Amino acid sequence: MELEKRCPGVVSCSDIEILATRDAVNASTGQGYAVRTGRRDRRRSIATDVKLPGPDFTVPQAAAFFRTLGLSSDDMVVLLGAHTVGVTHCGMIKKSRLYSYGGKAGATDPSMDPELASTYKTYVCPNTASSDNNIVFLDDRASASKLDNSFYKMLQRRRGALMVDQNLYTDGSTRWMVDRLANTDHFRWLFPQALAKLGEVNVLTGTQGEVRRVCSRFN
């Protein structure tokens, strides 16, 4: 609201989101990066329009999704590293990874570390509907608030929660990139670069859309 008072009709909500993301990444990693501004806001905002790679995607499926955004497989591996500060819920992994892998009743995904699978099934995600909304950390809990490369080290240990994440290490075409990010500090500077590219996908400029006066509603 204060920004709109000082610069009415100039700074879009889309730009605010991009700038806030940049500042959050910089605060967490110390790695600053440049972003371009001048985006405009869409006049349509519907949850079903949001497209994300599925939690059970194979690497080819996920790579195909990122290609529709003009992003490479390397970009994909780096951007999924955002899960280093993410969480999911038991309902996203119970069927595909814990209790019905491959459609077989009682089967657990063999790519998951057995100790982790046992912990999930015993304490976090028991096979009851009441556990569906229980929180599952996508990175080691001790590192869940840090934007670092711990996520990739978890994948090396077969401790990725989502299948789409663990598949990055199971699939030989992306394993080398996971190893690179886990074993070096390259994530620290590659992640901002990939975010900057993502921030320029399907952007509205010029007279397209609008610059919202209040971000929670259309003008």
The annotated binding site for substrate is made up of 53
Question: What is the residue extent of each domain of the chain?
Answer: 1-42+204-218, 43-199
pLDDT given at position 145: 84
CB atoms within 10 A of CB 84: 25
- How far is 50 from 68, CA to CA, in rounded Å? 14
Burial of 98: CB neighbours in 10 Å, binned 0-12, 13-18, 19+: buried
Q: Which residues of the chain are under the pLDDT cut of 70?
A: 1
pLDDT given at position 30: 75
CB atoms within 10 A of CB 197: 16
Q: Write out the H or E segment, with its range, that includes residue 135.
A: strand 135-137
pTM: 0.94
How many degrees, rounded to 5, is the angle at CA 84 between CA 82 and CA 87? 95
Burial of 21: CB neighbours in 10 Å, binned 0-12, 13-18, 19+: middle
The annotated binding site is made up of 53, 83-84, 140, 148
pLDDT given at position 170: 97
The annotated binding site for heme b is made up of 83
pLDDT given at position 3: 81
pLDDT in tens, 185-215: 999 999 999 999 999 999 999 999 999 999 9
The annotated binding site for Ca(2+) is made up of 84, 140, 148
Among the listed residues 123, 156, 122, the one whose alpha carbon sits nearest the alpha carbon of residue 139:
156
How many degrees, rounded to 5, is the angle at CA 29 between CA 68 and CA 50? 30
Residue range 43-199 forms a domain whose CATH class is mainly alpha
Alpha helices in 80-183, H assignment, sequence order: 114-119, 150-156, 163-170, 172-183
